[in-house]
Structure 1
């Protein structure tokens, strides 16, 4: 299925999500591999779920305390192509990274440039920035500032992305892609995909 933009789905912890998102055209699956984060899975689960899907990027999500040496070990063990981080790492990573950053950093030209200069040496493999949006508190001026940032660096949007607002976000901001949230199974093999399906449907190319 062809989508209007690149889509990653985070919080993958079950086979239903992994197969559904891959089948709907997601480019990547994000697994929470840091035990300090909610909903974390272990490396064995990542390898097992990855064995059931093809053609998608495998991404590991890590919090603020995990050493880079442990991240790089899990990258190798799980066959990850990228990582999603919540802080600047203290040493070089072996794969490209997506980095969560506060909106005030992303939307300020001077602060954004300073951040990129500081982070680039340890993210030499590649860097993208993730903005987490609250659509109830995203005035037009902030959207325009995000659109300007998206012309200068790979900007990914996460947060309250729904079928109702996704087309507008793509039109105004033109991000590198979207990060959607996966969910939990009701019971093994049973999962309600209504909300996620609505977003994928809104992203389908005509």
Structure 2
């Protein structure tokens, strides 16, 4: 599981302590969960303890590459309108990245393999907002994508909460879950009661599927 929208060093450390697999830091200035790159140094101290994902929206390549080179993040998440051509600079440089796709219907998934991403993240289609809305996607569509693309890991996002996480895992069987609004007190501040409930559900769901 990845908990996204981390803005506080204390929250990041607590995620590490709980054994969360990954955290996301949003470097898109218009996000409610924006983390100023100059204030992201605390992520460097977590190297090797948790997978650190930097979320970018139509940012070009300079900032994402710099944060990787500076040891702030491990993986880039392209969460905007990037094309496979935009992603090629990361592919050619050997920098691991995820590609998020806002899903309205099956046609949105046609180019999923063209990016060369390590995994595809499916989120609710949110023009101008780019995720974090708390809206769910069509889980049946996500499940069909997995069945038809067994070699491409799928990360399920969009409205995952402690109340629906068990149902989401059972319906989709994704490689991972990505949670932002469903694990918050308010944007950018985590609710660790919710985080722990999500973790319990993920671990029980994983055991049932093994």
With the shorter chain as reference, the TM-score category is: 0.7 to 0.9
TM-score by length of 2: 0.72
TM-score by length of 1: 0.73
Q: 1:84 aligns with which of 77, 89, 101?
A: 77
Q: Residues of 2 paired with 1:15 and 1:174: CA distance? A: 31
Aligned to 1:42: 36
**Alpha-carbon offset, residue 168 of structure 1:** 2.4
Q: Is the 8 A contact 2:120 2:155 kept in 1?
A: yes
Q: Secondary structure at the match of 2:14?
A: helix
Q: Residues of 2 paired with 1:45 and 1:82: CA distance? A: 18
**Alpha-carbon offset, residue 195 of structure 1:** 2.4
User: Number of paired residues?
Assistant: 185
Q: State the Cα deviation string for residues 119-157 of structure 1 (Å, max 9, x = none).
A: 23xxxxx4311112544x637x43542442562411101
Aligned to 1:3: none
Gaps of 5+ in 2: 125-134
| Stretches of 4+ aligned residues off by more than 4 angstroms | none
Q: Residues of 2 paired with 1:103 and 1:83: CA distance? A: 20
Gaps of 5+ in 1: 1-6, 121-125
Q: Residues of 2 paired with 1:145 and 1:90: CA distance? A: 25
Aligned to 1:155: 154
Q: Residues of 2 paired with 1:183 and 1:51: CA distance? A: 23
Aligned CA RMSD, in angstroms, stands at 3.0
Q: Residues of 1 paired with 2:38 and 2:63: CA distance? A: 15
Q: Is the 8 A contact 1:14 1:49 kept in 2?
A: no
Q: Secondary structure at the match of 2:171?
A: helix
Matches within 5 A, 1:89-108: 89=86, 91-93=88-90, 94=93, 95-104=95-104, 107=106
Rg larger in structure? 1
